[in-house]
Structure 1
């Protein structure tokens, strides 16, 4: 276990690697469709996380994206819901020693500028390629935020 990386506050075992992804035709706005269709890559930097549930023998092993270090950022912040993550299929491939030495872009820390630029490009691509679905999602997000703000006002301690 690495004390620096936590999921829901619990130290977790983490392996760095990549996951091969394919287009999800049923979900056109699914986040990695941009990587597959626009960027022509089918491998996404990933973390394989092994989480031991407190007070249980049960272990969970799952993969989250680590493009631009977003996975590391979440785990270093405790793995709580206040930091976003991107789920991946479980087809994890750990980086080899050769990949570690040759691949300068192994994300071991968060690059907020690179991440923000990438997410902006993804959003613009989704808007262009799937305008109807994009508009529906934006309306949902707007309604959700409005409802959250109203809820906050009602339960304010002021």
Structure 2
């Protein structure tokens, strides 16, 4: 059944759950970076977009023109349709847990509330977003007293 599958190994840092630095210095994402980003994000990072990673381009969260590196931790998979939104007022960034957030332009949302896509990661639907990657302070102190 898996004869047609493309097998790959994704290596992640055990402390931060971030993909290891691949050391690429080109503007376009390398095939290796695309494989790691596919394993990490699954598809388009725009909120509620169901496009798979094979249909995605890679957007620099810190723009290439502003000195942004072409590193897997600075790339966001985005389908072609949503990639144009990054040039029309939408901002893209990584939050403190490494997830990609999209901030709408002020004319659309005056508070610029960050939005993430959980379509490709259904396990995140059932986890508290702050507890998913939080390792410190566990178990809570009120449970430890006993």
Task: Give TM-score scaled by structure 2 length.
Answer: 0.30
Give the number of the structure whose residues are more often helix, by fraction: 1
Give the number of the structure whose residues are more often strand, by fraction: 1
Higher relative contact order (CA 8 A, sep 6+): 1
